[in-house]
């Protein structure tokens, strides 16, 4: 009975630790890219009125949030450069998918939880750590990370009518700005 009580305490502790770590994960805040250049926005000037803008999110940032942050940065850059509207020439969103495998802290085999040392049972005969499993003892998680990029051309005056890729910069800032996580 002591083994079971200890196992339950260990499983509860492992669950609490996982919950605490997951609470620390937050979406990428809107701002310039970090010193590593992995998360946030960046831009490079191609011509006087043409830029390439990118926004990279972490594994907690949704695709929608990444794309809205890209449009917001393009609009801010347009206004800062003295233009009124911008048009996206090329626009893409890339997804980086990775798989992580972790041991299941609640897994039991016929001798107890996985952290029970198997050499403790050698007096009962040969036992392999891979024998007598009731189910899988590994958890596989898929982690997605998004990066959006666009090449934009800026212009002055009213935006071109009939161009679905043209955006009024001030309207984008007013509409998307409050919805982007700062």
123: phi then psi, degrees, rounded to nearest 5: -65, -15
* pLDDT tens-place string over residues 118-130: 444 444 444 455 5
Q: What is the model's pTM?
A: 0.67
Decide the pairing of beta strands 50-56 and 40-47.
antiparallel
Cβ neighbours of 137 (radius 10 Å): 17
List beta partners, residue 90.
151
57-95: per-residue pLDDT in tens?
A: 888 888 899 899 999 999 999 999 999 999 998 888 888
- CA distances in angstroms from 114 to 8, 9, 18, listed in the order given: 12, 14, 17
Predicted local confidence at residue 40, as pLDDT: 86
Domain spans, the chain: 2-179
Contact between 88 and 151 (Cβ < 8 Å): yes
């Amino acid at each position: 009975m002591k083994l079971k009580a200890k196992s339950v305490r260990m499983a509860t502790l492992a669950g609490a630790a996982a919950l605490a770590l997951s609470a620390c994960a937050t979406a990428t805040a809107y701002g310039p890219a970090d010193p590593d250049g992995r998360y946030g926005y960046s831009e490079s000037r191609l011509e006087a009125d043409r830029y390439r803008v990118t926004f990279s999110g972490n594994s907690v940032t949704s695709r929608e949030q990444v794309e809205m942050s890209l449009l917001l940065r393009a609009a801010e850059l347009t206004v800062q450069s003295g233009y009124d509207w911008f048009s996206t020439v090329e626009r893409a969103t890339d997804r980086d998918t990775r798989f992580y495998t972790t041991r299941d802290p609640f897994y039991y085999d016929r001798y107890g939880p996985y952290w029970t040392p198997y050499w403790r049972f050698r007096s009962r005969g040969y036992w392999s750590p891979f024998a007598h499993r009731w189910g899988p003892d590994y958890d596989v998680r898929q982690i997605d990370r998004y990066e959006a990029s666009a090449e934009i051309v800026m212009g002055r005056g009213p935006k071109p009518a009939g161009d679905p890729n043209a955006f009024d910069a001030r309207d984008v800032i007013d509409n998307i700005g409050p919805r982007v996580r700062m």
